[in-house]
Amino acid sequence: MSGGKTKVVIAGGGTAGWIAAAAMSHQMGELLDIILVESQEIGTVGVGEATIPPMRTFHRLLGINEQEFVRATNATFKLGIQFENWKQIGEKYFHSFGVTGKQTIITDFIHFWLRGRELGVAGEFGDYCLEYKAALQGRFSLNSQSKINYAFHLDAGRYASFLRERAEACGVKRVEGKIAQINQNPDSGCITSLQLESGQELVGDLFIDCTGMKGLLIEQTLQTGFEEWGHWLPCDTAIAIQTEPTEPPTPYTKSIAHHAGWRWKIPLQSRVGNGMVFSGRHMSNDEAKDMLLSSVEGKTLTEPRVIKFKTGRRKKSWNKNCIAMGLASGFLEPLESTSIHMIMTAVTRLLQLFPHGGIKQSIVDEYNNQAESEYERIRDFIILHYKATERDDSPFWRYCKDMEIPYGLKHRMDLFKDFGRSNQVEGELFRLDSWTQVMLGQGVVPSSYHPMVALMPESGLQNFLGSIAAEVDDNIAMMSMHEDFIKRYCNRV
Ligand X SMILES: Cc1cc2nc3c(=O)[nH]c(=O)nc-3n(C[C@H](O)[C@H](O)[C@H](O)COP(=O)(O)OP(=O)(O)OC[C@H]3O[C@@H](n4cnc5c(N)ncnc54)[C@H](O)[C@@H]3O)c2cc1C
Find the shortest distance in angstroms from Cβ 234 to ligand X. Answer: 15
216 binds ligand X per the rule CB under 6 A: yes
In whole angstroms, what is the distance from residue 348 CA to residue 279 CA? 33
Asked if 381 interacts with ligand X (CB under 6 A), we say no
Q: Please identify, using beta-carbon distances, which residue of 16 and 444 lies nearer to ligand X.
A: 16
Interaction between residue 238 and ligand X (CB under 6 A): yes
14 is a contact residue toward ligand X (CB under 6 A) = yes
Nearest to 99 by CA among 170, 48, 148: 148
Give least dist CB 137 to ligand X, A: 24
Q: Which of residues 255-274 bind ligand X (CB under 6 A)?
A: none
The residues pairing with 272 across neighbouring beta strands, listed in sequence order, are 243, 267
Residues within window 288-307 making contact with ligand X, judged by CB under 6 A: 307
- Nearer Cβ to ligand X, position 160 or 444? 160
- In the bound state with ligand X, the residue whose beta carbon lies nearer, of 126 and 334, is 334
44 lies in the site for ligand X, by CB under 6 A: yes
Alpha-carbon radius of gyration of the chain: 23
45 forms part of the interface with ligand X (CB under 6 A): yes
CB of 268 to ligand X, least distance (A): 12
Window 391-410: residues binding ligand X (CB under 6 A)? none
Contact status: 210 vs ligand X (CB under 6 A): yes
∠ CA 426-383-109, rounded to 5°:
50
249 binds ligand X (CB under 6 A): no
If one asks whether residue 215 binds ligand X (CB under 6 A), the answer comes out as no
Is residue 39 within 8 Å of 180, Cβ to Cβ? no
Position 250 contacts ligand X (CB under 6 A): no
Residue 382 makes contact with ligand X by CB under 6 A: no
Quick one: which segment of 182-190, 207-215, 410-418, 476-484 binds ligand X (CB under 6 A)?
Answer: 207-215
**The one among 49, 108, 155, 374 contacting ligand X by CB under 6 A:** 49
Q: Are 117 and 125 in contact (CB under 8 A)?
A: no
Please identify which residue in 339, 436, 437, 442 interacts with ligand X, judged by CB under 6 A.
339
Build a one-symbol-per-residue string for 306-325: x at contacts with ligand X by CB under 6 A, - elsewhere.
-x-x----------------
Backbone torsions φ then ψ of 254, nearest 5 degrees: -110, 135
Of the ranges 12-20, 166-174, 344-352, 392-400, which one interacts with ligand X (CB under 6 A)?
A: 12-20
What phi and psi values does residue 178 have, to the nearest 5 degrees?
A: -100, 135
73 vs 152: CA distance, rounded Å: 10
Q: Which of 98, 212, 251, 446 binds ligand X (CB under 6 A)?
A: 212
CB of 307 to ligand X, least distance (A): 5
Nearer to ligand X, 52 or 130 (CB): 52
Contact criterion met (CB below 8 Å) for 347 and 370? no
- For the bound state, the minimum distance from the C-beta of residue 282 to ligand X, rounded and expressed in Å, comes to 17
Given a contact cutoff of 8 angstroms between Cβ atoms, the answer to whether 251 and 138 are in contact is yes
Contact mark string toward ligand X, 148..187, x via CB under 6 A: --------x---------------------xx--------
Q: How far is the C-alpha of 191 from the C-alpha of 100, rounded, in Å?
A: 49
Is residue 50 involved in binding ligand X (CB under 6 A)? yes
Q: Is the Cβ–Cβ distance between 434 and 381 less than 8 Å?
A: yes
Q: Which of 98, 234, 326, 330 binds ligand X (CB under 6 A)?
A: 326
Beta carbon of residue 39, minimum distance to ligand X (angstroms, whole number): 4
With binding defined as CB under 6 A, does residue 96 bind ligand X?
no
**CA 385, 241, 401: angle at the middle one, nearest 5?**
20
Angstrom distance (rounded) from CA 387 to CA 261: 12
Surface-to-core class of residue 379, CB atoms within 10 Å of its CB (0-12 exposed, 13-18 middle, 19+ buried): buried
- Apex 388 CA angle, 447 and 122, nearest 5: 45
Query: What are the two backbone dihedrals, phi and then psi, of residue 246, each rounded to the nearest 5 degrees?
Result: -120, -5
Nearer to ligand X, 178 or 360 (CB): 178
Number of amino acids touching ligand X (CB under 6 A): 36
Query: Is the CB of 132 or the CB of 152 nearer to ligand X?
Result: 152
Binding site for ligand X (CB under 6 A): 12-17, 37-39, 42-45, 47-51, 156, 178-179, 210-212, 216, 238, 275, 307, 309, 326-328, 334, 337, 339-340
